[in-house]
Amino acid sequence: MIEQLPYIDSYLQWSFLDISGTQFALATIFFFGLVLLLWVFKIYGLWVLSRIAAKTPTELDGLLINALKSVKWPFYVLLALFIALSTLALPEQLSFVVTAGLYVVILYYVLKMVSVVIDVIALKYVKKREQADEGTSVILVLSRIAKASAFLLALLLLLQNIGVEITPLLAGVGIGGLAIAFALQNIFEDLFASFSIYFDKPFKKGDFLVIGDDMGVVEYIGMKSTRLRTLQGQELIVSNRDLTNTRINNYKRMERRRIVFGFGLEYGTPVAGLKRANELVKQVFSEVEDADLDRSHFKEFADSSLDFEVVYYLNTSDYTAYMDTQQQINLRIKELFDQEGLSMAFPTQTVHINKNV
């Protein structure tokens, strides 16, 4: 041991790039010390933080802990190496390389943690939307946009910290972005329209829509278009831009359906029969569930009938339920009118002939 001390002394006096062996030795000790410290943090520190996060009501701290857990050992080793090298008086060019490498490593793993956080948040909202039977494509696109934005921000920070002038670069990117925006104007309009549909929620999957002369049930809400299944069975694809620029009747959200229908009695029906007809209509609605009579009136003297108008409300938006109820009402009215001897009118024409003898 004593005989080897001169060799140790000679090593400490050795220098490279104007850096003595003593400085290298101290940097090496510092490097292993940092690795040990980071190892303790990786193994025990994150475990303690996880136990603490599990006891808090918020999910944010747990999300950050999971992001830190996603960082693997190469990051800690490289971080310790770059920090240890930064303690040495390295030449300017070598120091620049070390500094740039440190920024690259840090930004890479920061982006990785940000990506984990975005994925967890996106997955959480995707599950909620799937449980609500709603589209999830907008969430996935927003998560990709967030990741791309984080990458661009990290790239700009890296360039700025290594001495690159980013102002001309930003100007060039802005001009190029405007050119791309004009070229992809229609696509961007559909994209922003899908965002409007997602946040404003004018309709969702399963809703029955009437759009102009078209109608159908929403099956899928995408980034560019929405697909409906029509009553005839075919698939109707409508641009999101068109959907946000037109009026839409959403019958799924109709809590009550207002129905107006009429019938006519023969002109030979006496006044007592007309009054009795209104009483019978009220009797019919007292027997029908979920249908609330609003009014029943002898409306007008038509060409071939004495017309009545009936208005009622149905406490459902289902079209089949509406038709079933209307059929029940029609059959019951016909049954009661037959029992009372009230005859429904049909188109007739009376011709009066004046015959001069």
Contacting residues for 146 by C-beta, under 8 A, at least 6 apart: 118
Q: How do residues 70-92 score in pLDDT, each as one tens digit?
A: 677 777 777 777 777 777 666 66
* Residue 271, pLDDT above cutoff 80: yes
Residue that wins the pLDDT comparison between 154 and 280: 280
* Residue 239, pLDDT above cutoff 70: yes
φ, ψ at 261 (rounded to 5°): -145, 165
* Residue 313, pLDDT above cutoff 50: yes
Tokens of 125: 């909202």
Separate counts of helices (H) and strands (E) for the chain: 12, 10
Q: How do residues 157-181 score in pLDDT, each as one tens digit?
A: 766 666 666 666 555 555 555 555 5
Q: What is the mean pLDDT of residues 283-302?
A: 91
Ranges 43-52, 158-167, 232-241, 308-317: which has the least confidence: 158-167
Q: Identify the helix (H) or strand (E) that includes residue 355.
A: none
Q: Cβ atoms within 10 A of the Cβ of 339, count?
A: 9
129 with 136: CB under 8 angstroms? yes
Specify the pLDDT at position 350: 56
* Residue 15, pLDDT above cutoff 60: no
Q: What is the mean pLDDT of residues 287-308?
A: 91
* Band of residue 274 on the pLDDT scale cut at 50, 70, 90: very high
Determine the Cα–Cα distance for residues 207 and 194; give it in Å rounded to an integer: 16
Determine the Cα–Cα distance for residues 350 and 342; give it in Å rounded to an integer: 21
**Can you say whether residue 250 is alpha, beta or left, with left for phi > 0 and alpha for psi between -120 and 50 degrees?**
beta
* Residue 140, pLDDT above cutoff 80: no
Q: How do residues 89-121 score in pLDDT, each as one tens digit?
A: 666 666 667 677 777 777 777 777 777 777 777
* Residue 328, pLDDT above cutoff 60: yes
Q: Is 147 helix (H, G, I), strand (E, B) or coil?
A: helix
Q: What is the mean pLDDT of the chain?
A: 76
Ranges 81-90, 303-312, 348-357: which has the least confidence: 348-357
* Band of residue 1 on the pLDDT scale cut at 50, 70, 90: very low
Give, rounded to a whole angstrom, the gap between the first and last alpha carbons of the chain: 157
Q: Cβ atoms within 10 A of the Cβ of 101, count?
A: 14
Q: What is the mean pLDDT of residues 27-39?
A: 80
Ranges 27-36, 165-174, 242-251: which has the least confidence: 165-174
Specify the pLDDT at position 27: 74
Residue that wins the pLDDT comparison between 352 and 222: 222
Determine the Cα–Cα distance for residues 303 and 288; give it in Å rounded to an integer: 32
Please report, for residues 315, 316, 333, the alpha-carbon distance to residue 324 in angstroms, rounded to integers and kept in the order given.
Answer: 13, 12, 14
Contacting residues for 165 by C-beta, under 8 A, at least 6 apart: none
Which residues, in sequence order, are bridge partners of residue 292? 313
Determine the Cα–Cα distance for residues 203 and 221; give it in Å rounded to an integer: 9
CA gyration radius for the chain? Answer: 40
* pTM: predicted TM-score of the whole model, two decimal places: 0.47
Instruction: Work out the burial of residue 198: count CB atoms within 10 Å of its CB; fewer than 13 is exposed, 13-18 middle, 19 or more buried.
Output: buried
* Residue 129, pLDDT above cutoff 70: no
Specify the pLDDT at position 264: 92
Q: What is the mean pLDDT of residues 204-221?
A: 84
283 with 336: CB under 8 angstroms? yes
